[in-house]
Amino acid sequence: MTSKLKKLLIGAATLALTAGAALAETVIIGHFGSPTPMQVARAEGKFDAATGWTIEWRQFGSGTEVIAAMASGDVQVAELGSSPLAIGTSQGLEIQLFMIAQGLGTAESLIAKAGSGITRIEDLKGKRIAVPVGSTAHYSLMGALTYAGIAETDVTIMNLPADQIAAAWDSGQVDAAFIWEPVQNQILQTGTFIVGADQTAAWGFPTFDGWVVNTEFATENADAMVAFAKTMNEANMAYLADPAAWTADSDPVKKIAEMTGAAPDQIPSILKGFTFIPLADQLGPTWLGGAAANMKTTADFLVKAGRIDAAVDDYSGFVNTAIAEAAK
């Protein structure tokens, strides 16, 4: 091989490597940092491997923050609660729900502080309640108040990000909080469980966390989106196969703790508070199949409560079942 030919081959190889690196698209994915099975797949780099993306995981404290980030175009895929989902789509945000992350169950609950005099929902009158406004927890709280016949003006709603609620609790600024894990477990040390999102759902105010994607991005990255959903489903199925094996000293729980900062001894009980749904079952009317109707009901309630100006007539365009169909 001549020296000239050798240089040409080396140059071509370098160019190919550079081009390959350029093809690895950086995608920003928003999440809440919840201690869930997806954190294991995240720790093991499975999402990057399956999609071919270089993923930048960005943690948000509320759905309101997620909506703003997606509206700016900064975030392409994100975890988002059902209530802020209804708010964002009602405001024209071009996103699609393509997967249910988890039903919220008792992983989101109303906790009353010890000594507050609150033992039931009716005792909330005149009390200070912390909640991230616009979140699923806020929607559940409003549902609980409605069920109990309490006007929102009869309580003081304190709009606090999730990561500030524990400090406000400890300093005596609040009497109760409707919040999710792991903050819920923190304040339960000096508080009492009043009602969970599973009960408010039974009263007609169901909530869930879902995965949403920018509509245009979903079209341009159809195969990668299917791979993402499949990887998420595999993570959930690994837990559902044997929940009892996910003990505090197990490898999956240690990885969740590493990724979220949650205490390993609390993670097994936190996981039990969520409802993880196999992707094949999400296509039925309870979850993805009924998501458009759920969004409409939620939006109509939020209009009545004065939280948004108007609901749209049909939310079916904000639900993408094709990704789940291909990934199940």
For 34-100, the DSSP string reads -SSTHHHHHHTTHHHHHH--EEEEEE-SSHHHHHHHHHTTS-SEEEEEHHHHHHHHHTT--EEEEEE
Closest CA to 214 of 314, 300, 323: 323
Tens of pLDDT, residue by residue over 251-298, are 999 999 999 999 999 999 999 999 999 999 999 988 999 999 999 999
User: pLDDT confidence of 209, banded at 50, 70, 90?
Assistant: very high
Token pair 């405001």 is found at 91
- Which tens digits make up the pLDDT trace of 7-27? 444 444 444 444 444 456 899
How much is the mean pLDDT over the chain? 91
With cut-offs at 50, 70 and 90, classify the pLDDT of residue 150. Answer: very high
Position 8 in a domain: no
Considering the domain boundaries, does residue 320 fall inside one?
yes
Are 219 and 96 in the same domain?
yes
Q: Are residues 221 and 316 in the same domain?
A: yes
Residue 156 predicted with pLDDT over 80: yes
Residue 37, pLDDT above cutoff 90: yes
Whether residues 285 and 318 share a domain: the answer is yes
Q: What SS3 state is found at 216? A: helix
| 12 found inside a domain | no
| pLDDT given at position 120 | 97
The amino acid sitting at 280 is A
Q: What is the predicted pLDDT for the residue at 325?
A: 97
Say what the pLDDT of residue 21 is.
Answer: 40
pTM of the model: 0.83
C-beta neighbour count of 27 within 10 angstroms: 21
Sheet of strand 77-81, all strands in order from the earlier edge strand to the far edge: 54-59, 26-31, 77-81, 208-214, 95-103
Q: In what order do the strands lie in the sheet with 176-180?
A: 156-159, 128-131, 176-180, 108-113, 191-196
For residue 253, the domain's CATH number is: 3.40.190.10
R_g over Cα of the chain: 22
Please check whether residues 122 and 100 belong to one and the same domain. no
- 247 in the same domain as 119: no
Q: Per-residue pLDDT averaged across 130-153, rounded?
A: 93
Instruction: Check residue 297 and give its pLDDT.
Output: 92
* Torsion angle of the four alpha carbons 119, 121, 122, 124, in this order, in degrees rounded to the nearest 10: 80
Are 77 and 115 in a shared domain?
Answer: no
Report how many domains make up the chain.
2
* Predicted confidence band of residue 1 (pLDDT cuts 50, 70, 90): low
280 occurs within a structural domain: yes
The vertex-14 CA angle with 12 and 19, nearest 5°, equals: 95
Residue 14: its pLDDT value, please?
Answer: 43
Helix (H, G, I), strand (E, B) or coil at 110: strand
Q: Looking at residue 15, what is its pLDDT?
A: 41
Give the distance, in angstroms, between the CA of residue 186 and the centroid of all CA atoms in the same chain: 19
Residue of 289, 288, 310, 286 whose CA lies nearest to 299: 310
Task: Name the β-bridge partners of 159.
Answer: 131
State whether 124 and 48 are in the same domain: no
Residue 181's pLDDT is: 86
Domain of 307 in residue numbering reads as 23-104+207-327
Question: pLDDT tens across 38-58, in order?
Answer: 999 999 999 999 999 999 999
What pLDDT score was predicted for residue 206? 87
Establish if 282 belongs to a structural domain: yes
Element (H, E) at 21: helix 3-23
CB atoms within 10 A of CB 240: 12
Mean pLDDT over 158-176 rounds to 95
Q: How far apart are CA 219 and CA 221, in angstroms?
A: 6
pLDDT, position 232: 98
| Amino acid present at 150 | I
pLDDT given for residue 6 in this prediction: 45
Compute the average pLDDT of residues 215-234. 98
Condensed to tens digits (0 to 9), the pLDDT of residues 292-315 reads 999 999 999 889 888 899 999 999
Tell me if 127 sits within 8 A of 118, measured CB to CB.
Answer: yes
